[in-house]
Structure formats: structure tokens, C-alpha cells
Amino acid sequence: MPIHVELDPGSRVACVTFAGDVRLDDYLHLIRELEGRVAQGAACGILAVTDPDMRLSTPSEVRVIAAALQQSELLCELRVAIVATSTVLYGLARMLALLAGADDTMQVFTMREEAERWLVSGSPDQLRLHAPVHPPVSCAPPSLARYFRAEP
């Protein structure tokens, strides 16, 4: 099974793990399943953990997933923390958050512990204090500072 959902009853966080051949239909089915859990009051946050060997979505698939998330009123109000296990997955997950218009409620992390802390952190005003605002250091673009002279 490419997607597995496990609910922590104490924190009411749905932990979603992705592995292998995850297709567009799998993502859309997952959104409907999570909507049901939220409607029942069973989930109040989502921790999504990727596998480095999973099939990568195309940008056009990411757009379809983002549109489905935008149409979901229930999921728009949840915190979603995505743990990206590769540089490419990090970029696709950031693209998803931006296209879904969920930049405040959906954040991308490289470390599971940071993602878990952000999920249970305080008010929405504190969201950006816990979320990275740049890709992992290993994939940051090279500095262009050496090409420009500092003016006195």
C-alpha cells in the first residue's frame, strides 16, 4: 500500500506515510479519507512523511492535488506538516503549499522532530517561528555575493 494513515488518539494527529508508487488517485483518495476523519473530530493535524524511494509527482499532478486541497474546507483549517526526505520532494511539497494557498497552515520540514513540534505548537501567529523558510542547506543555491561589490 503506497499510503498508510495512522491516527494518534492522544494528539489527534493523523500520521500519513508515503512509500513506493504513489499515484494521483491515491492522493485524491487520501484527501477524501482525511476529510472524513476531520468531520468526525478524530483528527486536528496531519503529519505527512515521505519515503526517499517513492515515485515523484509531476508538477501538473501537484497542481491537481493543490486544487483538491483548496476545495476542501475542512483541510484548509488543519495544520499539515510535511517531512520531505529529499531535495526534490522538498521543492514539490513547497510548491503544493503555495499552490494550495496554505502557506500558513502547511509547512515543509526536513526533520520529523521539527515537524512534530510545529504541529503541536501554539497559535497560528507562531507558525512561521517554527517552520523553515528555505530549502535544506544541501540544495540552497550558491551565493551570488561574490559577483557584487559592496558599496561603502
**What band does 74 get if pLDDT is binned at 50, 70 and 90?**
low
| CA 146 vs CA 12, 113, 139, 142: distances in Å | 49, 35, 19, 10
What pLDDT does residue 65 have? 93
Query: What pTM value is reported for the model?
Result: 0.75
Name 45's bridge partners.
Answer: 13, 79
Name 3's bridge partners.
Answer: 18
Residue type, 48: A
**What band does 10 get if pLDDT is binned at 50, 70 and 90?**
confident
Express each pLDDT in 119-130 by its tens digit: 888 544 433 333
Residue type, 152: P
| Average pLDDT of the residues in 82-104 | 90
Query: Rounded to 10 degrees, what is the CA torsion of 135, 144, 149, 133?
Result: -10
**Does pLDDT of 48 surpass 50?**
yes
Which helix (H) or strand (E) is 7 found in, with range? strand 3-8
Residue type, 19: A
**Does pLDDT of 133 surpass 60?**
no
Of 59-68, 99-108, 121-130, where does the model show the most confidence?
59-68
**What band does 42 get if pLDDT is binned at 50, 70 and 90?**
confident
Name 48's bridge partners.
Answer: 16, 82
Q: Are 3 and 22 in contact (CB under 8 A)?
A: yes
**Does pLDDT of 61 surpass 80?**
yes
| Average pLDDT of the residues in 43-50 | 87
What pLDDT does residue 131 have? 39
